[in-house]
Amino acid sequence: MLSALHVSQARDVRRLREQAGRAPSPRYRRVGTRSVAVALVGLLVLGGAAAYGVTQLIGDDGGERSGNARANTKPKRKRAAVKPGNVTVAVLNGTTVPGLAAALRDQIAAAGFKKDTINDFSDQQLAESVVQYAPGHQAEAKAVSRRVGISQREPVTADSRALAGDATVIVIAGADKAP
């Protein structure tokens, strides 16, 4: 843009000098329209490249994402696989079905997880089972929930912590796990 203004100003200065009867200064030589066009196209290309570069650096969170947007996202870090032998699991019975927590604990132990406390949960009317996890143990809770087929996961509550002791993962069996 500045180049176009500079060329335009040089023409005006040359015309004014010619009208005043003086020869144009050698400093201002004639620039053809082809040169001006090439300069403008070059500036547009550089401006477009700069704009694209800025959007790539800061990311574009607005609008729809196309199928190619995944190629530009950061890859997710792969976490180390959970070793069941390092995960202690307590099971609480949230129903009135006798032996439900013990049966669920046996299923969890068969997958290699460490067995911990079995206890009755304070709410004996739980409709849906839930896997709770201690802070920093979401991956372990996910592994346990996959093993027992429970989709609901949440951080541990004070009530379940008091009943389950030091377990890093607590499974509370609801009516959906009753035979």
Domain boundaries, the chain: 2-72, 84-177
> What proportion of the chain, given as a percentage, has pLDDT over 70?
75
Q: In angstroms, what is the C-alpha Rg of the chain?
A: 36
Is the predicted pLDDT of residue 64 greater than 60, yes or no?
Answer: no
How far, in Å, are 14, 41, 136, 137 from residue 149 at the CA level? 85, 61, 21, 18
DSSP symbol at 177 = G
Kindly report the average pLDDT of the chain as a whole number.
80
Helix (H/G/I), strand (E/B), else coil: 143: helix
Q: Which CATH architecture has domain 84-177?
A: 2-Layer Sandwich (3.30)
Confidence of residue 73 (pLDDT cuts 50, 70, 90): low
User: Which residues in 142-154 are b (16+ Cβ under 10 Å) and which e?
Assistant: ebbbebbebeeee
User: Distance of CA 50 to CAs 53, 139, 178, Å?
Assistant: 5, 42, 62
What tokens were used for 141? 């809770």
pTM of the model: 0.56
What is the pLDDT averaged over residues 110-115? 90
pLDDT in tens, 32-41: 666 777 777 8
pLDDT given for residue 46 in this prediction: 86
DSSP class of 67? G
pLDDT at 95: 92
User: How many whole angstroms separate alpha carbon 131 and alpha carbon 153?
Assistant: 5
Decide if 95 contacts 175 (C-beta within 8 A).
Answer: yes
Instruction: Average the pLDDT over 11-31 and give the result.
Output: 65
Confidence of residue 78 (pLDDT cuts 50, 70, 90): low
DSSP, collapsed to helix, strand or coil, labels residue 127 as coil
Q: Which residues contact 87 (CB under 8 A, 6 or more apart)?
A: 113, 114, 137, 140, 143, 144, 168, 169
Region class of 149: left (phi > 0), else alpha (psi between -120 and 50), else beta: left
Give CA–CA dist 178/95, Å, rounded.
Answer: 8
CA within 13 Å, CB half, 4: 10
